[in-house]
Structures are given as C-alpha cells and as structure tokens.
Copies of this chain bind each other. A is one copy, B any other.
Amino acid sequence: MSEAVNFKYIGTRPVRPDGVDKVTGRANYGADANLPGMIHGVVLRSPHAHAIIKKIDLSQVRLLDGIYAAVSGNDFPEVSSGSMGGEGGGDYKDLAANIMARNKVLYHGHAVAAVAARTRELAVEALALIQVEYEILDPVMTLDAAMAEDAAILDESMFTQGVDPKPKYPSNIASRIEFKRGDIEQGFLEADIIVESEFRTPTVHQGYIEPHACLASINEGGQATLWCSTQGHFDVRAASAKVLNMDLCDIKVIPSEIGGGFGGKTVVYQEPVAILLSRISGRPVKMVMDRDEVFRASGPASASHTRVKIGARSDGTLTAMSCWMAFEAGAFKGSAIMPGAMCIFTPYKVANFYIEGFDVVVNKPKVAAYRAPGAPQAMYACESLMDELARKLEMDPLELRLVNAVEEGVQAAYGPKFNAIGFRECLEVAKQHPNYTRALKEGQGRGVAAGFWFNVGMQSSAEVHINENGTVMVIEGNPDIGGSRASMALMAAETLGVPYEKVRVVVADTENAGYTNVTGGSRVTFATGMAVIQAAQDIISQAKQRAAATWELDEDQVDWQNGHAIPMPGVNADVEPLSLARIAANSGRTGGPLLGRASLNAKGAGPGFSVNIAEVAVDRETGKTDVIGFTAIQDAGKAIHPAYVEGQLQGGAAQGIGWALNEEYIYDEKGVMQNAGFLDYRIPVASDLPKIDTHIVEVANTAHPYGVRGVGETPIVAPLAAVANAVRDAIGVRITELPLSPSRVLESIDGA
C-alpha cells in the first residue's frame, strides 16, 4: 500500500501543535493545576513490607490546626471484586486496597492513611501524629521465596487459578497459564542441536520524569472535577467512581499534559484519595508524589525468571521451543505474564512449542504496565538463547532469524494469522546496515536481537468540527504523549485535503470527548487515528451533500478532491469547485454547522516487529559497559510523522539500554527499597547513550486506511537482548541475569 500511495501531508515532519507550549514551559502538567483555597494531601505509607494493620488512630492528627481532613482505609466504601477491563486489567477490589490498605499492608510504601493540610509541609509533619499498630509478617521478596512450599502467604483468600479446579491451599501463585502447539517432545527429538538456559530480570521502573500528580475538587452536590496526569482519563474516571462508589457522570477528569507514562500512568493511586479529602474538607486538594513515593508505591515492571529451551536442525530450522516463565505481580495479582507468554516465541515459525507461565505475588508494589508489558523480559530470554544457538551453529544470528522468521499467512503463537508484516524486511535491512558490518575494536562486541509486540485496537471516539472559515477542529480523548496531536492533524489534513496548519487537535476531557480507551498498547495512531479519519470522512460526506444541494445535483454526482467538492467526472455542470472553506462559510444556509463523528472498537492492530543492533565496549578493569552504537530498525506500517516514530525508536532503545545495564530495585532483607531515587536508581542520561540510529520499514497494515501499525512499544522489546548479546560478544561470557552492572560483568569476567 505505502509504495502505491502518494501522500501530501502524511509522512511529512511539521512542527507539533503542542511544541511551543512545551518548550516555553507554558504547558500544564499534573502539578500545575491550582485552585483558590486549595490544600495539600499527603499519604502515610507503611514502613513494613508485610504486616497486619491492627489499629489506625487518626484522632490526634484531626485535632491539629491546619489539618482539614484525615482518612484511612475505613473511610472508603467496600469495593467488591470485579475486572477493570482495559489494557491494565486487574481487579477493582485490589485496586481499592492498593490505593488505601485495608487490614494488611503488602509492601513498604503501601498507603495506610492520608491527610490534607493548609500546606504540604504541615501535612507531611502531621503524618507523625497518626498512630498505626502493625503485626509484622515475613516479607516475601523474590519469585523463589514466593513459590516455595513454606512461603508466607500474602493473601489467604488467594488460590492458584489454572491448575486444580479446587485448590486446597492458598498460594502466592495467582495463576498458571499454558500455550502449546504441536508435540514438544517430538520437536526436541527432531533437533540436531538443543540449547537451554535460564534468565532473570529485575524489578525496574518506567522512570517517567513527571511524578503522579492530581488536583481534586468536589462540590456540595457531589460533582467532582479532577485534574491529573494520566494516560487515560476515562479509566481514571471509571476507577475513581468505583473506588468511591460514585456515578461516572459525577466525575469530570481533565487530563494534563503528561511528562511520560510508558504504561505507568494507566493506574489510579492518589485520585480517589484526593476526591475523598476534598469531600471531607470542602476544599480543592492537590496531591503530588515525590520521587521516593513514585518508586516505592507506583507500579514498576515485573521481575521475571524464565527457563528456555530451543531445538534446531543444523541448517538453523527451529524444531521446538519451550519455556517456563514466572513473573512478579507485586502485592496484588496481575503481572505481565500473559503478554510475555504471547510474545516470547512469536517471531519464529516453529511447529512445536510449549509455554508455561506463572503470575506470582510478592511484597513489592503492584506492577503496572511498562511499554510492551512482559515482552522485554520474555524476549530477553528467547533472543539471548537464539544468540547462543547461532553461536553453536556458527551461523550469522540475523541469518538464523531469517530462516525462521514469521511472515504473512503464518499463524502467530498466540492465535491469529499474520497479515502483511515487516519482520523479514527489518532483518534484511539489518543485514545490509553499515552498523552491522563495520569492524569492531578489541574489547568491543556487537549483538542483535528481534523485538515483537502485538499492539492493540480498543475503543476510540473522534469528532471533527469545521469552523466558519473552513479551519478544522479535531476533538479526541487520548492524552498526547508521543506527538499524537500532530499525527491526528496529519491524518485529518490528508483525508480532508486541507493544509496541516488549518487543522487543530484538541485532547478533550471526559465531558467533552467521546469515550476513548487509554493512550497505551500502541493503539492511538492506529485506532484513534482511524476514528479521526472516519470522522473526517463524515465531514466530506456532508460537504458533498451541501455542494450537491448548492449545485442542484444528486449527492452521488459530487466528488471530493484536494479539499474541494467537484462534479463527478462525466457530470455536466458548469460550476466552480467548492472549497471546504466556501462550504463552511455557506453552511448556515445549507443546514447548519458541519460536525463529523466516528467511534469504533478497532480491529486489526498490525503487529510490530523490530531488529536492534547494539555495539558495546566493555572495560575489563571496571566492568563498565559503554554502548557505542545502537541501531533500531522497525516496521511502522506507515510513519504518519516520521520524526515521532524515530523518537519512539530512540526512546525505547534508551529505556531498554537502561534496563539491560543499570536499572533494578534493590531491597534489604526486610523488604525496604534501598535506591528509591534517581541518584541510586540509575536510568541512562544523555552522556550514557550513543546517537541511536533508526530505520523505519513500511509494510502497510492492511487494516488501517493509511497502513498504520503501532510503534510505541516494540522499540523497548529488543534492546535488552541486543545489549546482552553484544556484551557476550565483547567479553566471551554469557551473563544470564540483568542488569549487566559493572560489578556483575566484572564478576563474570573474573569467573571466566
């Protein structure tokens, strides 16, 4: 598709509409909302990783001058169990218990009470007056500990799903899943060579720059307004309503600009607390996490433990792939085990595979989505072992992947048949890339890895209003994280045939936008973009009707080209083309303003494939790894705004490199996090990174009018293995646990 179509606006790189406000500091983020009479809410957090709350006494803090409200779990309504739906999944009862502990604290940092005071300083000070009696329990801090027979149990009412129909004992294993195809034993029998290893990844955080922040104000009639930084304000509305037993239509959520989310801002933490404090105090309540709270109490990505086994013929053809995967869910069930299992072997055609996965609770913060949730951990294991396989076979690692790469018509491991996909194209680009072939120096190494993410569709709404001068307003409901205002404007401009500069995109609040799922799942440009295109087509249809009425022609005698209504070829009409601006100026006389709308539950999200090439230099004396080159190649289907696709590729690489080399939650034996700050939890900074080269492959997604497939998540999937494979190449030893920190690398070198 993409090769055949000449686009006028799509594929160009105009300035983003939100750019000026963001670079000048005018843009409002979560903490920038303020109201007269506003007070400040802060949370008292558990000092213990695992304990029973025997008593909470708020009486003293409530007496303090300047304290307007104090609440604990008892002040919230009971919330019954029920699925939250959406990308994050999860259960409303768990959500409520995570927002404010009831009876038990499950991690160091778990919220147990909150106060609102005249100033934030006073509120923080006042926390000391809250008396909590705990009965301390053993903390369960690792997968091994949690899955051990004699493990302390986090939730006595939790029984493993997916094993026994009627399990007898409670367990920290929330559920077990299994995917399989073919005959796994036969597959390994057919193999000329079998490789096997196990891999571990740590708990890591998304590391968004902007902490969670909100401002809530509820009036005496029970109508609440909430400003917050979120990836999905409709989800915030639904979750807050559920946790507070309010009606959806009594909560208006206004999304701020968002200083990064990466999946972590799909979850509600403070918002219902702020509403409740506002209700009690009668004042607007602002709550802003500090960085320590973000680390200790917002959702990181699952730590994982994966055992993989791969069998192949001597020509590289895979015959069998199997794995055992366990993912940490944190304090409440619901890790990324399912999508991890959906991704791990999906890039490869293999007749026989077996995947077993476990969702395991531990005394850490409940995990949240992190960019392609589960896929980086899963594919780190698969792609590391594929690298070992190539080494054993003495095959080029890209060639090994080309031999086995999935393509159009192949059934994906997780079910559906692939439409046109660009995996092979990415591998071919990588093979030819100068960054793959240039010579390396002593102590340097190169690694490659493939990435995969299935992408999602979900529900989106869009409206298009034509101003009286013909300029275009696009109203949609996805917070703009990666430049979606620009991409929506480009798609609307392309569809309507009007200049990009004449299209303005509004990210509307829950009152003004039609229901729209979260900015996540790499769905926005695909699904919301499709809604925008359809809403623009609705406008074209009306514009043609107006032109037909003006010209006294039938509707089907009018065509739309380059932003103008024209008579269809062959229609004999002595008329001038009518521009959208002319039609808009006359719309009062032809039936009123032009309003377009579309809503959908998008199907056919095109899967995203990538290939990364990492080049590293390892200092054998210090164990420090420098990434000296990084090349991200990815199939975007069609890059609506190529600069922002490149930005996604580069950002995903940066985060993946951090995950590979440095990032991890460090806990002491009591379950207390030791590095809850950016000084000790080390994400890459600019000087840690090379220029990240990008190459966009475009194999159009046939389910989208302009060929779009999601690009936001795939970029973080391959870097973990690519970097690990490069380090292996540089030091000659395979390290099977992330991060590849200097101490661990040094240990491995010394061990070898």
Structural contact, B515 and A467, CB atoms closer than 8 A: yes
Structural contact, A592 and B468, CB atoms closer than 8 A: no
Chain B contacts of A515 at CB under 8 A?
465-468, 593
Chain B contacts of A593 at CB under 8 A?
459, 461, 514-516, 599
Q: In the complex, A531→B587 CA distance in Å?
A: 15
Chain B contacts of A595 at CB under 8 A?
461, 463, 514, 597-599
- Is A71 interfacial (CB-CB < 8 Å)? no
Structural contact, A20 and B223, CB atoms closer than 8 A: yes
Q: Chain copies in the assembly?
A: 2
Q: In the complex, A600→B247 CA distance in Å?
A: 32
Taking the nearest CB of chain B, how far is it from the CB of A534, in angstroms? 10
- Is A147 interfacial (CB-CB < 8 Å)? no
Structural contact, B220 and A471, CB atoms closer than 8 A: no
Known contacts being A219-B26, A597-B595, is A248 close to B471, with CB within 8 Å? yes
Chain B contacts of A506 at CB under 8 A?
511-512
Taking the nearest CB of chain B, how far is it from the CB of A151, in angstroms? 38
Q: In the complex, A223→B19 CA distance in Å?
A: 11
Per DSSP, are chain A's interface residues mostly helix, strand or loop, or mixed?
A: mixed
- Is A504 interfacial (CB-CB < 8 Å)? yes
- Is A167 interfacial (CB-CB < 8 Å)? no
Known contacts being A595-B597, A599-B594, is A502 close to B460, with CB within 8 Å? no
Chain A 565-599, CB-CB to B under 8 Å as 1, else 0, gives 00000000000000000000001110111111111
Q: In the complex, A469→B241 CA distance in Å?
A: 11
Q: In the complex, A466→B601 CA distance in Å?
A: 15
Structural contact, B471 and A249, CB atoms closer than 8 A: yes
Chain B contacts of A594 at CB under 8 A?
599
Chain B contacts of A21 at CB under 8 A?
219, 221, 223
Q: In the complex, A32→B579 CA distance in Å?
A: 41
- Is A244 interfacial (CB-CB < 8 Å)? no
What total of chain A residues lie within 8 Å of the partner, measured CB to CB? 55
Chain B contacts of A221 at CB under 8 A?
19-21
Tell me the chain A residues, 2-45 only, with Cβ under 8 Å from chain B.
Answer: 19-21, 24, 26, 34, 36
Taking the nearest CB of chain B, how far is it from the CB of A701, in angstroms? 19
Taking the nearest CB of chain B, how far is it from the CB of A34, in angstroms? 8
Structural contact, A512 and B502, CB atoms closer than 8 A: no
- Is A475 interfacial (CB-CB < 8 Å)? yes
Taking the nearest CB of chain B, how far is it from the CB of A192, in angstroms? 48
Most buried by B among A36, A247, A512, A592: A592
Q: A24-B219, A248-B467, A249-B472 are in contact. List 19 more A-B contacts (CB 8 A).
A: A20-B220, A21-B219, A248-B469, A248-B471, A458-B588, A459-B592, A461-B595, A465-B513, A465-B514, A465-B515, A468-B515, A475-B511, A506-B511, A506-B512, A512-B512, A516-B593, A591-B599, A591-B600, A592-B600
A interface, CB within 8 angstroms of B: 19-21, 24, 26, 34, 36, 219-221, 223, 234, 238, 247-249, 458-461, 463, 465-469, 471-473, 475, 502, 504, 506, 508, 511-516, 531, 587-589, 591-601
Task: Pull 27 A–B residue pairs with CB atoms less than 8 Å apart, ordered by A.
Answer: A20-B220, A20-B223, A21-B221, A24-B220, A26-B219, A234-B468, A238-B468, A248-B468, A458-B588, A459-B587, A459-B588, A459-B592, A460-B592, A461-B593, A463-B463, A465-B515, A473-B511, A475-B512, A504-B511, A512-B512, A514-B593, A531-B592, A589-B601, A591-B600, A592-B599, A593-B599, A594-B599
